[in-house]
Copies of this chain bind each other. A is one copy, B any other.
Amino acid sequence: MAAAGGVVHISEIEKYKGDIDVLILCGGSATDLPEQGPELAALFNTVDSFDTHAKIPEYFEKVNEAATKAGTVSVISTGWDPGLFSLNRLLAEAVLPEGKEYTFWGKGVSQGHSDAIRRVAGVKDGKQYTIPVEAAVERVRKGENPELTTREKHLRECYVVAEAGADLAKIEHEIKTMPNYFSDYDTTVHFISEEELKANHSTMPHGGMVLRSGRTGKDSTQLIEFGLKLDSNPEFTASVLVAYARAVYKLSQAGESGAKTVFDIPFGLLSPKSPEQLRKELL
């Protein structure tokens, strides 16, 4: 194993075959993981946070083929969404089949939307917050099972640093009318100084909630809610990956192989505690 804190170039990774219990893949979902995931699963047990929801089935098949052939275990697409939110969607649907599920994201920084702002002409820097509409969340909590449009579920709040002399009205209009990213939402644009952006908008908070309201018996409304409030999205995602790395190691030791998702992993494997201890202390 590399010395603690040592950094090794990925081109040398094959040398470490047999020395690493589980590789935690931190590459991006757009171009890194589609290649790295299957390649590294052929050499090591892996955990990743591949999060392009629509491409998960295809990615699963590729990693599964490599891992099955190599006798390794790979947990794909973990983190909080996909990951803990997915688990709660499944659990709530299995327990309350007659119901409706709602996922709200935020308040938090969306990287994709922040990037979109920064591509607008005249914008020097910017951050975008996704914010759940509190009134919509309350309607779901009351068991109303409302039909909610995109606009009714989330607000988008933008903090923008403009280039000197830029046309602020034009920037604001361009952001608010941007298709896919902002036009379907109530969007607010705040122009601030570079110093303000640095001082107040440099961390990566996020969070959100998965709610399901369902009916049982004649007329009982039952609500299941799972929520996260995160000061640091990347640190929390990393913490989830580490918990799943424990499970990967245990499954590998038990002789399993292939790709898995959070749906395939019993929670007991996430903990360093023994099954006896878990039953005694946490059940």
Contact = CB atoms under 8 A, between A and B. Distances in A.
B236 A263 contact: no
Interface stretch (A18-26, A39-47, A175-183, A221-229): A221-229
Contacts of A283: 53, 56, 77, 82, 86, 261-263
A31 interface: no
Contacts of A77: 283
A267 B94 contact: yes
Nearest to A217: B235
Given A226-B225, A270-B94, A263 B235 contact: no
Interface in A206-232: 207, 216-217, 219-232
User: Interface extent on A, as a size class?
Assistant: 35 or more
A236 B97 CA distance: 12
Interface stretch (A7-15, A130-138, A238-246): A238-246
A280 B56 contact: yes
A44 to B, nearest CB: 22
A220 B227 CA distance: 17
A246 B94 contact: yes
Nearest to A59: B279
A214 B82 CA distance: 21
Nearest to A241: B95
A166 interface: no
A215 to B, nearest CB: 9
A192 interface: no
A164 interface: no
A278 B266 contact: no
A61 to B, nearest CB: 10
A224 B219 CA distance: 30
B223 A229 contact: yes
A238 B229 CA distance: 31
Interface of A: 53, 56-57, 60, 77, 82, 84, 86-91, 93-96, 141, 207, 216-217, 219-232, 235-236, 238-240, 243, 246, 261-268, 270-272, 275-276, 278-280, 282-283
